[in-house]
A and B are shown apart, each in its own frame.
Chain A
Amino acid sequence: MHELSIAMSILDGVEEEMQRHAGRCVEAVHVRIGPLSGVVKESLASAYELAREATPFAASYLVFEDAPVTVLCAYCQAERLVQSLDRFCCAECATPATNIVHGRELEITALELRE
């Protein structure tokens, strides 16, 4: 449900960034949406289609980059993947994971521009 708010925040971010690229058009917006961010990619993609309409970026679309959940495993002493979101432990040694390194991202990572 809050994906529309997120989509509008993305468009605000794009607008801010595009002030530095006057005269160009945005083809695509690359985003990294971590599984722990609480955002559903499919909903965000359709919310973006709605939110972009009244903006100068109406022809742009989202490209999702991979954002795996990783933790600092206390046993392995290394950054590891987790088994799953509902089995939140090290994928290698099954030690319960508490120290999240990646997975909460909600970022614009890049813009694809054309003249």
Chain B
Amino acid sequence: MTPRIVEVRKNILKHNDEVARALRTRFAESHVFVTSLVSSPGAGKTAFLEKTLTLLREAHYRTAAVVGDLATDNDAARLARSQALVRQITTGTLCHLEAAMVEKAVADWTLADLDFLFIENVGNLVCPSAYDLGENLRAVLLSVTEGEDKPLKYPTIFHSADVAIITKMDLAAAAEFDCAAARANIQAVCPEIPIIELSSKTGAGMNVWLDLLVSRIGPR
């Protein structure tokens, strides 16, 4: 008997997409703007998030963060210094966050008490790209020490992002980082993505990033 072919057309990540959609609805109803951060390990996500949370707090915005990591809660402890509400998701061996993990992490939070929620993904430039977390904005970080050609090697993650952020600009000269080449490479894989250069350490360029965030929720 020859096999019979049955057409299916089923989205493989249907379950994740459904949870993400429900989250996005919940975020919208609570008027909280949700940003996720993706990058390779060591690109400076946590330092960037700590600075972002601190500056938003100084501007009287209410913030919280969910932090994914393979092991340890070091990142959550660092971020707690900003006095934002922080929750760690330890993923064990899983190399990316999925929507259900975010759903569980924020389950008992009153989201309506927040203006901004940040989701720091596990450091990985490949795996997180396919998983919708219900976020409104996805930022991909590239640090000057990683080299200018990262976007060419990992185009998919740049395609999944809404904004590209070049971090550790204070080290650009020491790393002999060619910023024009990096920008050209980002634009080669993703022609219209906005690019922001900044240093979480010195704060240079952070105002551009904060302006972008604040512009998305309107005046308070």
Contact = CB atoms under 8 A, between A and B. Distances in A.
Interface of A: 1-2, 5-6, 9-10, 12-13, 16-17, 21, 27-28, 30-31, 35-39, 85-89, 96-98, 100, 104, 106-115
Contacts of A109: 7-9
Contact of A1 (B124, B129, B190, B192): B124
Given A2-B127, A112-B4, A114-B3, A88 B13 contact: no
Contacts of B1: 114-115
B5 A112 contact: yes
Interface stretch (B78-86, B154-162, B174-182): B154-162
Given A2-B96, A38-B127, A110-B6, 15 more contacts: A1-B126, A12-B15, A13-B8, A17-B8, A21-B6, A27-B3, A36-B155, A37-B156, A85-B189, A86-B188, A86-B189, A109-B7, A110-B8, A111-B5, A114-B1
A39 B160 CA distance: 13
B212 interface: no
Which of the four size classes fits the interface of chain B? 35 or more
Contacts of B6: 17, 21, 110-113
A23 to B, nearest CB: 12
Interface in B66-103: 94-96, 98
B4 A17 contact: no
Most A C-beta atoms less than 10 A away, residue of B13, B15, B16: B13
B148 to A, nearest CB: 13
Secondary structure of the B contact surface, majority rule: mixed
Given A27-B3, A88-B190, A108 B159 contact: no
B106 to A, nearest CB: 21
B220 interface: no
Nearest to A98: B192
Interface in B1-55: 1-16
B3 A112 contact: yes
Interface string B51-64: 00000000000000
B152 interface: yes
B159 A96 contact: no
